[in-house]
Structure 1
Amino acid sequence: MALSCFHCHPLPYTVTTQRHTTPFPFSISLSSTFKFSSALSSSTSTTHHPLPPDFSPSQLLDLIRRQPDESSALRLFQWASTQPNYSAQPSIFHELLRQLARVGSVDSMLSLLHQMRSSACPVDESTFLIFLEAYANFELHGEINAVIDCMERDFALKPDTRFYNVALNLLVKANKLKLVETLHSKMVADGVAPDVSTFNVLIRALCKAHQLRPAILMLEDMPNYDLRPDEKTFTTLMQGFIEEGDVDGALRIKELMVESGCALTSVSVNVLVNGLCREGRIEEALRFIYNEEGFSPDQFTFNALVSGLCRTGHIKQGLEMMDFMLEKGFDLDVYTYNSLISGLCKLGEIDEAVEILNHMISRDCSPNTVTFNTLISTLCKENHVEAATELARNLTSKGFLPDVCTFNSLIQGLCLTSNREIAMELFEEMKEKGCEPDEFTYSILIESLGSEKRLKEALMLLKEMEKSGCARNVVVYNTLIDGLCKSNRVDEAEEIFDQMEMMGVSRSSVTYNTLINGLCMSKRVEEAAQLMDQMIMEGLKPDKFTYTSMLKYFCQQGDIKKAADIVQNMTSNGCEPDIVTYGTLIMGLCKAGRVEVASKLLRSVQMKGLVLTPHAYNPVIQALCKRKRINEAMRLFREMMEKGNPPDAISYKIVFRGLCNGGGPIQEAVDFTIEMLEKGILPDFPSFGFLAEGLCSLSMEVTLVELINMVMDKGGFSQSETSIIKGFLKIRKFDDALANLGAILDRRKPRRF
Structure 2
Amino acid sequence: MSVKKPQTLTTTLNVLRHHLPTPSPPPHLPPPPTPPPETSLTPLPTLPISTTLTELTNFLNNHLTPSFTSTQLLHFFKSKLHHHPKFTHLDFHIFNYAASIDSFRHDHNTYEWIIRALTITHRFHYLKLALDFMVANPCPCADGIFACPRIEPIFRFAINGYCSVGRLDDAVKMFDCMSRLIDGKASVALYNVVIHGFVKFREFEKGLRFYERMVKDRVRPDVVTFNVLISGYCRNYRFDLALGVFKEMKEKGCVPNVVSFNTLIKGFFRERKIEEGVGMAYEMVELGCEFSVVTCEILVDGLCREGRLLEACDLLIDFSRKGVMPRGFEYYDFIDRLCGEGEMDRAREVVNELWGNGSAPSSITCTTLIEGLRSLRRVEEAIELLDRMLRDDIVPDSVTYNCVLQDMCGSGKTVLANKLRLLASRKGLHADSVTYNILVSGYTREGRRKEGETLVQEMLDKDFIPGIATYNRLMAGLAKKTAHQ
TM-score, normalization: structure 2?
Answer: 0.53
The answer to whether 1:242 aligns with 2:274 is no
The answer to whether 1:91 aligns with 2:109 is yes
Q: Which amino acid in the other structure matches residue 62 of structure 1? A: K
1:275 shift after superposition: 2.1
1:188 shift after superposition: 1.8
Which residue of structure 2 lines up, in the alignment, with residue 131 of structure 1? Answer: 158
Q: Distance in 1 between matches of 2:270 and 2:54?
A: 54
Which residue of structure 1 lines up, in the alignment, with residue 5 of structure 2? Answer: 15
Question: Is the alpha carbon distance of 1:72 and 1:266 closer, same or farther for their aligned partners in structure 2, counting shifts above 3 Å?
Answer: same
The alignment partner of 2:330 has SS state of: helix
1:164 shift after superposition: 0.8
> C-alpha deviations, 1:54-74, integer Å up to 9, x for none?
862441341443244763222
Which residue of structure 1 lines up, in the alignment, with residue 289 of structure 2? Answer: 263
Contact 1:203 / 1:218 at 8 angstroms: preserved in 2?
Answer: yes
Q: Which amino acid in the other structure matches residue 153 of structure 2? A: S
Question: Is the alpha carbon distance of 1:199 and 1:278 closer, same or farther for their aligned partners in structure 2, counting shifts above 3 Å?
Answer: same
Question: Is the alpha carbon distance of 1:114 and 1:241 closer, same or farther for their aligned partners in structure 2, counting shifts above 3 Å?
Answer: same
The answer to whether 1:166 aligns with 2:193 is yes
Q: Which amino acid in the other structure matches residue 254 of structure 1? A: A
> C-alpha deviations, 1:327-372, integer Å up to 9, x for none?
9673779xxx9xxxxxxxxxxxxxxxxxxxxxxxx99xxxxxxxxx
The answer to whether 1:66 aligns with 2:83 is yes
Question: Is the alpha carbon distance of 1:135 and 1:216 closer, same or farther for their aligned partners in structure 2, counting shifts above 3 Å?
Answer: same
Which residue of structure 1 lines up, in the alignment, with residue 362 of structure 2? Answer: 330
Q: Distance in 2 between matches of 1:41 and 1:328?
A: 64
Question: Is the alpha carbon distance of 1:22 and 1:43 closer, same or farther for their aligned partners in structure 2, counting shifts above 3 Å?
Answer: closer
The alignment partner of 1:56 has SS state of: helix
Which residue of structure 2 lines up, in the alignment, with residue 253 of structure 1? Answer: 280
Contact 1:241 / 1:249 at 8 angstroms: preserved in 2?
Answer: yes
1:250 shift after superposition: 0.9
The alignment partner of 2:331 has SS state of: helix
Q: Distance in 2 between matches of 1:247 and 1:137?
A: 34
Q: Distance in 2 between matches of 1:220 and 1:47?
A: 60
Q: Distance in 1 between matches of 2:259 and 2:73?
A: 41
1:99 shift after superposition: 2.5
1:181 shift after superposition: 1.4
Q: Which amino acid in the other structure matches residue 301 of structure 1? A: E
1:101 shift after superposition: 2.2
Q: Distance in 2 between matches of 1:57 and 1:212?
A: 53
The answer to whether 1:78 aligns with 2:107 is no
Q: Distance in 2 between matches of 1:248 and 1:46?
A: 69
Contact 1:22 / 1:82 at 8 angstroms: preserved in 2?
Answer: no
The answer to whether 1:294 aligns with 2:323 is yes
Which residue of structure 2 lines up, in the alignment, with residue 117 of structure 1? Answer: 135
The alignment partner of 1:66 has SS state of: coil
Question: Is the alpha carbon distance of 1:40 and 1:223 closer, same or farther for their aligned partners in structure 2, counting shifts above 3 Å?
Answer: farther
Q: Distance in 1 between matches of 2:10 and 2:184?
A: 35
Q: Which amino acid in the other structure matches residue 94 of structure 2? A: L
Q: How does 1:140-179 map to 2 (within 5 A)?
A: 140-153=167-180, 158-179=185-206
Q: How does 1:187-226 map to 2 (within 5 A)?
A: 187-226=214-253
Percent of pairs identical after alignment?
Answer: 22
Q: Distance in 1 between matches of 2:58 and 2:73?
A: 25
Q: Distance in 1 between matches of 2:91 and 2:155?
A: 20
The alignment partner of 1:165 has SS state of: helix
Q: How does 1:566-605 map to 2 (within 5 A)?
A: none
Contact 1:282 / 1:309 at 8 angstroms: preserved in 2?
Answer: yes
The alignment partner of 1:110 has SS state of: helix
Contact 2:77 / 2:91 at 8 angstroms: preserved in 1?
Answer: no
- Specify every segment of 5 or more residues in structure 2 that has no aligned partner in the other structure, as ranges: 14-51, 140-147, 369-396, 399-485
The alignment partner of 1:294 has SS state of: coil
Q: Which amino acid in the other structure matches residue 318 of structure 2? A: N
Question: Is the alpha carbon distance of 1:301 and 1:174 closer, same or farther for their aligned partners in structure 2, counting shifts above 3 Å?
Answer: farther
Contact 1:266 / 1:295 at 8 angstroms: preserved in 2?
Answer: no
1:135 shift after superposition: 1.8
Question: Is the alpha carbon distance of 1:332 and 1:24 closer, same or farther for their aligned partners in structure 2, counting shifts above 3 Å?
Answer: farther
Contact 1:210 / 1:244 at 8 angstroms: preserved in 2?
Answer: no
Contact 2:332 / 2:362 at 8 angstroms: preserved in 1?
Answer: no
Q: Distance in 2 between matches of 1:332 and 1:183?
A: 48
Contact 2:159 / 2:171 at 8 angstroms: preserved in 1?
Answer: yes
RMSD, matched Cα = 4.4
Q: Distance in 1 between matches of 2:257 and 2:308?
A: 27
1:245 shift after superposition: 3.3
Q: Which amino acid in the other structure matches residue 66 of structure 1? A: H
Q: Which amino acid in the other structure matches residue 257 of structure 1? A: M
Q: Distance in 2 between matches of 1:76 and 1:306?
A: 60
> C-alpha deviations, 1:675-704, integer Å up to 9, x for none?
xxxxxxxxxxxxxxxxxxxxxxxxxxxxxx
Of residues 75, 97, 108 in structure 1, which corresponds to 2:126?
A: 108
Question: Is the alpha carbon distance of 1:230 and 1:124 closer, same or farther for their aligned partners in structure 2, counting shifts above 3 Å?
Answer: same
Question: Is the alpha carbon distance of 1:288 and 1:238 closer, same or farther for their aligned partners in structure 2, counting shifts above 3 Å?
Answer: same
Question: Is the alpha carbon distance of 1:44 and 1:88 closer, same or farther for their aligned partners in structure 2, counting shifts above 3 Å?
Answer: closer
Q: Which amino acid in the other structure matches residue 253 of structure 2? A: D
Q: How does 1:703-742 map to 2 (within 5 A)?
A: none
Contact 2:265 / 2:278 at 8 angstroms: preserved in 1?
Answer: yes
> C-alpha deviations, 1:582-631, integer Å up to 9, x for none?
xxxxxxxxxxxxxxxxxxxxxxxxxxxxxxxxxxxxxxxxxxxxxxxxxx
Q: Distance in 1 between matches of 2:280 and 2:232?
A: 17
Of residues 56, 70, 89 in structure 1, which corresponds to 2:72?
A: 56
> C-alpha deviations, 1:166-219, integer Å up to 9, x for none?
222232233331221121121122222112221122112112122222222222
> C-alpha deviations, 1:64-97, integer Å up to 9, x for none?
4324476322233233333466441323222322
The alignment partner of 1:131 has SS state of: helix
Contact 2:163 / 2:193 at 8 angstroms: preserved in 1?
Answer: no
Q: Distance in 1 between matches of 2:336 and 2:104?
A: 60
Q: Distance in 2 between matches of 1:96 and 1:204?
A: 34
The alignment partner of 1:210 has SS state of: coil
Q: How does 1:381-400 map to 2 (within 5 A)?
A: none
Q: Which amino acid in the other structure matches residue 82 of structure 2? A: R
Contact 1:160 / 1:192 at 8 angstroms: preserved in 2?
Answer: yes
Q: Distance in 1 between matches of 2:59 and 2:249?
A: 67
Q: Distance in 1 between matches of 2:183 and 2:305?
A: 51
Contact 2:338 / 2:347 at 8 angstroms: preserved in 1?
Answer: no
> C-alpha deviations, 1:492-524, integer Å up to 9, x for none?
xxxxxxxxxxxxxxxxxxxxxxxxxxxxxxxxx
1:251 shift after superposition: 0.9
Q: Which moved more, 1:75-84 or 1:211-220?
A: 75-84
Q: Distance in 2 between matches of 1:100 and 1:275?
A: 43
Q: Distance in 1 between matches of 2:224 and 2:313?
A: 32
Contact 1:274 / 1:304 at 8 angstroms: preserved in 2?
Answer: no
1:129 shift after superposition: 1.6
